[in-house]
Amino acid sequence: MKTAKSQSTYFWGKGKSEQWIAGIALAIGGVLISIPFIWMILSAFKTESEVMQIPPTLWPDQLTLENFVYLFENMNFALYLKNTIIVVLCSFVGLFLNAMAGYGFAKFQFKGKEKLFYLVLATMMIPGQVTMIPVYLILNEMHLTNTMAGIVLPGLVGAFSIFLFRQFMSTIPDELLEAARLDGANEFRVFTQIVLPICKPILAVQGILTFIAGWNSFLWPLIIANDESLYTLSVALSLLKGQYGGNFALQMAGSTFMVVPIIIVFLFFQKHIIESYTISGMK
């Protein structure tokens, strides 16, 4: 592809023309990358017949909101949206638990600390396919299949998040915490009123990533929820594809409804997300 050529332009001097070539190559790549998004959003506003028209239209002939209305009136999308929001909110509880664990590992000495921390890190290497079936069996024993608790519990905490919190929190000076303790604050207050506010940058990044992950959660809700009243948007959309396979306008509306909120959140916070990679030391 174009990459081989562009790699060499990078190093054949740093002149204006090379900058232009790189810019044009990236612009072409950027358009190619964006096509699925553009096509999805524009098709969502087309009528069912227009979407199957040959030759296809780029801009909808007659802009219609019919598809979105259909999703909410006939497909229960309001309910799936509510479920998805519940999943997202619960995942923020998980984020709080991760922060607590990160604090515990960063700022305390206790018996078994090293071993427990390695245990936490080890869970990062376990593939989802191995735990999928046993976790289902465990939840079945706990009578939590087909419940919201069953959907959220297994993914509530994550080792990588705990690791990042620990890294960040170990830079907080001990004196600051001691001072708060001397003032009579209990341990939980020290955590919520001193530590968490200091952690705002990393909380922000992880908060956004948690939101995105919760919003997109698919496989686990699909496995554990048989009852339609517990479906998340992702699950509903995959079923929509099965049932309304021929109606692409409706499918594009469903996809747009899932993707656009994420894109908006991302565009607002993209600077923080992208820069967190540099901060977290992935080099």
Partner 1 sequence: MKGFTSNKTPYLFIAPAVILLILFSILPIFIALIISFTDIDLAGLADWSAISFVGLQNYKDIFADPVFIKSIYNTLFYVIFGVPLVIICSLGIALLINFGKSPIFKMFRVIFYMPSITNVVAIAVVWSYLYNPQFGLFNYILKLLHLPTIPWLQDPTMAKVSLIILALWRAIGVNMIIFLAALQGIPKEYYEAAQIDGANGWKQLTKITIPLLRYAIFFVSITTMIGWLQFFEEPFIMTKGGPLDSTTSVALFIYQNGFEFSKFGYAAAGSFILFIAIIIVTLVQFRLQNKEGHY
Footprint on residues 168-227 left by partner 1 (CB under 8 A) = 174, 187, 191, 212, 215-216, 218-219, 223
Least spacing, CB of residue 66 vs partner 1, in Å: 17
CA–CA gap between residue 280 and residue 275 (Å, rounded): 9
Least spacing, CB of residue 34 vs partner 1, in Å: 6
Helix ranges (H only) for the chain are 2-11, 16-44, 48-51, 66-74, 77-107, 113-122, 128-141, 148-152, 159-169, 174-182, 187-189, 196-198, 200-216, 219-224, 233-243, 248-279
Per CB under 8 A, 95 contacts partner 1: no
Per CB under 8 A, 268 contacts partner 1: no
- Total residues at the site for partner 1 (CB under 8 A)? 107
For 55-85, b where at least 16 C-beta lie within 10 A, e where not — what string? eeeeebeeebebbbebbeeebbbebbbebbe
Q: Does residue 159 contact residue 123 with C-beta atoms inside 8 Å?
A: yes
Least spacing, CB of residue 218 vs partner 1, in Å: 5
DSSP-assigned letters across all residues of 86-118: HHHHHHHHHHHHHHHHHHHHHH---TTHHHHHH
Looking at 49, 62, 109, 171, which residue binds partner 1 (CB under 8 A)?
109
Q: Does residue 165 contact residue 98 with C-beta atoms inside 8 Å?
A: yes
Per CB under 8 A, 103 contacts partner 1: yes
Binding characters for partner 1, 13-52, by CB under 8 A (x = yes): x----xx--xx-xxx-xx--xxxxx-xx--x-------xx
| Nearest of 150, 157, 158, 159 to residue 222 by alpha carbon | 150
Per CB under 8 A, 113 contacts partner 1: yes
Footprint on residues 123-162 left by partner 1 (CB under 8 A) = 123, 125-138, 140, 153-154, 156-157, 159, 162
Least spacing, CB of residue 197 vs partner 1, in Å: 17
Footprint on residues 219-238 left by partner 1 (CB under 8 A) = 219, 223, 233-235, 237-238
Looking at 4, 49, 171, 184, which residue binds partner 1 (CB under 8 A)?
4
Least spacing, CB of residue 62 vs partner 1, in Å: 18
Least spacing, CB of residue 156 vs partner 1, in Å: 6
Count of beta carbons in the 10 Å neighbourhood of residue 259: 17
Binding characters for partner 1, 52-91, by CB under 8 A (x = yes): x-xxx-----------------------------------
